[in-house]
Amino acid sequence: MTTADSPSPTDSARSGSPVRDVIAGCSIAGLLLPEAVAYAGIANLPPQAGLIGLLVGLVAYGLIGTSRFALVSATSSSAAVLAAITVSMAGGDAAQRLLLGAGLVILAGVFLVLAGLFRLGGITEFIAKPVLRGFTFGLAITIILKQVASVVGVHPTHGDLPRFAYQLIHQASAWNLNALAAAGVVLLMLFSMSRWKNVPGPLVVIVLGIALAYGVDLHHYGIGQVGTIDLAGVSFDIPDLARTEWLRLGELAFALVLILYAESYGSIRSFALKHGDKTSADRDLIALGVANLGSGLLHGMPVGAGYSATSANEAAGAQSRLAGWCAAAVVAVIVALLLPQLALTPEPVLAAIVVYAVSHTLRLSVFRPYWSWRRDRLLVVLACVAVLLLGVLDGLLAGIGVSLLMTLRNLSEPRVSQLGRLGSSHDYVDNAAHPEATTIPGVLIVRPEAPIFFANVERILTQVRHMAAQGAVHTVIFSLEESPDLDGSTIEALHMFAAGTIAHGRRLLLVRLKPRALEVLARAANEALPRESLHELSVDECVQSLGKESMGAASA
């Protein structure tokens, strides 16, 4: 995918009839509006929070973002993370949860904007893909079970899934089977209508549910409804929270930012690659930040570019961000004219919409590549199990923590290869992988198989010292091709290593230096590691220069 630092809002738009965007916008509004109301329930927020986040997200990203397909709205994962954070801090105090939720979304927006301004858009893989897939799978199971509990009228007190499921099953005699049957029928309808791409199934079932509410006394069957959607009382302000609460929210907002950006940029990048579009990661960070900042100030939900909404937008025929603006206009009209009718939506309908929306992530096939590649199998399973056992927030943080620890372990304990010449070529390769490669008598050529930095430099140099002590070595050639830059700790360690090498009567050459590494080492040159020991040259060129020096010395 090609990236651009500051594309204009229409750079990515392709030529095409605006009519297609209008049709796509009208179609996608039928999916986004029901999901926004349903995801508000997951976040333990009133339904208007979902509508606010949807409208602000569509408009803000449409004005600032760079993807022509991405639609920014409430997502199930961010809603679940917000619910976990606010419940852990406020417990059963609903009013305090609303304030904490607004503060959390505001801080997430601020962090995203700052990340974009500081050009941190390149850090798009902070959550490893296996962690994100395992988290999403576990989250889908959690959300579905909690929706079942909500529909049947049972409210288990435990957050971890095993005890939650036990309480849910233990109270089976108290289940509201009428509501469960209604949700099952709606879910069957949604899956049936999924065969027709142009039919907004969630909107259809909401309309049918509202119509049913007019003709049947749902409360008689124990079926609840959405209730009042209060947009008249929406205020634009910063929630009144204590300093300690803001500090705590700031710590936890990091997790929300990670999940929002990982999920959003994953979908943005996927469709940009598919269509050859230009995007800017930094600008998209700012767009997501502004959307969340505006939503939080209006006490709305966190928003991101979810894959399901973005793919539905593409499938509906969208050609530019005009589709998102049209969707926002349609949603605004529906909210302005039909708010009392939306309040009549039966709760089982919303629960079925949530289950339908997250069900596409419940595919065991997402784990298959990691087994066939024999990579990250433990990580993807651990991320899923962590969510199920520890809860949404702690499970996400545990998965991220384990992936970072595994990465740091691999970086801090890199293998150091001894290189030899492959036949009569100019290629120097790892002797362990190519036993036929020949070494040069008296010359030790080594290469760390990872970037060298403060956490691994001592281990690497210790390995090289041990290798040099194994034979009659007069020259050590150190290939640093894997290290684009060097930190201060590494430079100090190299100085000490160079001094020790000289003390043992050996010569040290640092080769394959990248420009930034060469620049900093040239500034730090001293008697032990002079400028003439630093080279951008290849290993072969340095070996040839050593041969010429030896011939010159012999002839002299």
Kindly report, residue by residue over 370-406, the tens digit of the pLDDT.
988 888 998 999 999 999 998 888 888 898 888 888 8
Q: What integer best gives the mean pLDDT of the chain?
A: 89
pLDDT given at position 17? 65
Where residue 2 falls among pLDDT bands split at 50, 70, 90? Answer: very low
- If you average pLDDT over each of 3-7, 155-159, 353-357, which comes out highest? 353-357
Residue 332 one-letter amino acid: A
Cα separation, 306 vs 256, whole angstroms: 14
Collapse the DSSP code of 431 into the 3-class scheme (helix H, G, I; strand E, B; otherwise coil) and give the result.
Answer: coil
Residues contacting 123, CB < 8 A, separation 6+:
115
Is pLDDT above 80 for 218? yes
Give the pLDDT band of residue 552 (cuts 50, 70, 90). Answer: low
> Any bridge partners for residue 423, and if so which?
none
Q: How far apart are CA 223 and CA 212, in angstroms?
A: 12
Structure tokens given for 67: 């993807």
Find, among 434, 414, 345, 421, the residue nearest to 38 by Cα. 345
Q: With both helix axes pointing from N to C terminus, report the angle between 392-412 and 76-90 in degrees, rounded to the nearest 10.
A: 110
Cα gap 160→507, rounded to integer Å: 60
**Average pLDDT, integer, range 210-236:** 89
Q: For the chain, give the percent of residues with pLDDT over 70.
A: 94
| pLDDT for the residue numbered 550 | 60
How far apart are alpha carbons 325 and 349 in whole angstroms? 27
Measured CA to CA in angstroms, residue 236 lies from 58, 62, 94, 113 at distances of 18, 21, 19, 19
The pLDDT tens digits for 423-436 are: 888 899 999 999 99
Measured over all CA atoms, what is the biggest interatomic distance in the chain, rounded to whole angstroms? 108
> Which residue is associated with the tokens 């080594």?
446
pLDDT of residue 123: 64
* Predicted pLDDT at 411: 80
- C-alpha span between 22 and 284 (Å, rounded): 23
pLDDT in tens, 92-117: 788 999 999 999 999 999 999 999 99
- Over residues 489-535, the pLDDT tens digits come to 999 999 999 999 999 999 999 999 999 999 999 999 999 999 999 99
User: Domains, the chain, ranges and CATH?
Assistant: 18-157+177-227+241-408 (no CATH), 416-555 (3.30.750.24)
Mean pLDDT is highest, among 289-298, 404-413, 542-551, for 289-298
Give the model's confidence band at 230: pLDDT under 50 very low, under 70 low, under 90 confident, else very high.
confident
What are the pLDDT digits (tens) for 42-61?
A: 999 999 999 999 999 999 99
Query: Can you read off the two tokens belonging to residue 263?
Result: 């999920």
Question: What is the 8-class DSSP label of residue 517?
Answer: H
Q: What pLDDT, on a 0 to 100 scale, did the predictor assign at position 265?
A: 84
The closest of 263, 347, 355, 378 to 311, measured between CA atoms, is 263
Please state, in angstroms and rounded to a whole number, the distance separating the CA atoms of residues 401 and 407: 10
SS3 508: strand
Q: Per-residue pLDDT tens for 157-193?
A: 776 788 889 999 999 999 999 999 999 999 999 999 9
CB 331 within 8 A of CB 31: no
Per-residue pLDDT, 6:
45
* pLDDT at position 31: 85
Query: CA-CA distance, 442 to 470, in Å (whole number)?
Result: 11
| Distance (Å, whole) CA 190 – CA 273 | 30
Spatial separation of the C-alpha atoms in residues 118 and 171, rounded to whole Å: 52
Please give the Cα distance from 333 to 407 (Å, whole number).
49
pLDDT in tens, 275-301: 999 989 999 999 999 999 999 999 999
- CA 150/CA 42 separation, integer angstroms: 10
pLDDT of residue 4 exceeding 80, the answer is no
How far apart CA 495 and CA 527 sit, in angstroms, is 9
Query: Taking a C-beta distance cutoff of 8 angstroms, is the pair 6, 283 a contact?
Result: yes
Q: What is the pLDDT of residue 10?
A: 41
Buried-exposed string 286-301: b where 16+ CB fall within 10 A, e elsewhere: bbbbbbbbbbbbbbbb
> Given this model, what pLDDT does residue 12 score?
40
The tally of CA atoms less than 13 A away on the side-chain side of residue 460 is: 29
The residues, ordered by sequence, that sit 6+ positions from 536 with a Cβ below 8 Å of its Cβ are 511, 512, 513, 515, 518
Question: Highest mean pLDDT range out of 9-13, 93-97, 135-139, 493-497?
Answer: 493-497
Contact between 303 and 57 (Cβ < 8 Å): yes
Residue matched to tokens 């039966």: 346
Name every residue whose Cβ is closer than 8 Å to that of residue 21 and which is 6 or more positions away in sequence.
317, 318, 319, 320, 322, 323, 326
Kindly provide the b/e burial profile for residues 189-227, where b requires at least 16 CB atoms within 10 angstroms of the residue's own CB. bbeebeeeeeebbbbebbbebbebbeeeebeeeebbbbe
- pLDDT score, position 308: 85
pLDDT classification of 11: cutoffs 50, 70, 90: very low
pLDDT at 414: 86
Residue 411 near residue 455 (C-beta atoms within 8 A): yes
